[in-house]
């Protein structure tokens, strides 16, 4: 029950952040914070989402660099999420798979 609550809150923050970000409001990119907090909550409580985020950071380097460049201004839970979804682990896994096939 507690996990489901966190997943719902995470998705609400994630979707809300995506909706708010392009809106013309006085504070630019105000939706980035709820988006990243939603990602942090989901990556903590969902292994599938954490692996997906890790894959996205591996696939799109600009996305990974953008997240890491704003890390010093974000809450501690976002910093932890950035550390847990490090794309280097994904590269290591792919390298191990390729060695097994040989």
What 8-state DSSP symbol labels residue 73? G
CA distances from 70 to 47, 81, 94, 97 (A): 24, 13, 28, 32
Tokens of 35: 């988006």
pLDDT tens per residue across span 44-83:
999 899 989 888 888 998 988 888 888 888 888 888 888 8
Separation CA 81–CA 15 (nearest Å): 18
Q: Output the pLDDT for position 5.
A: 95
pTM, 2 dp: 0.75
Asked if 101 contacts 71 with a C-beta cutoff of 8 angstroms, the reply is: no
What 8-state DSSP symbol labels residue 21? T
- Residue extents of the structural domains in the chain: 2-101
Separation CA 85–CA 13 (nearest Å): 19
């Amino acid at each position: 029950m507690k996990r489901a609550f966190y997943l719902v809150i995470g998705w609400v923050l994630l979707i809300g952040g995506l909706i708010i970000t392009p809106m013309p409001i006085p504070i630019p990119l105000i939706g980035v914070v709820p988006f990243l907090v939603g990602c942090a909550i989901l990556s903590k409580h969902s292994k599938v989402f954490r692996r997906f985020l890790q894959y996205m950071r591996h696939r799109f380097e600009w996305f990974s660099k953008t997240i890491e460049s704003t890390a010093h201004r974000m809450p501690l839970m976002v910093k932890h999420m950035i550390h847990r979804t490090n794309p280097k682990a994904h590269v290591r896994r792919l390298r191990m798979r390729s060695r097994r096939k040989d």
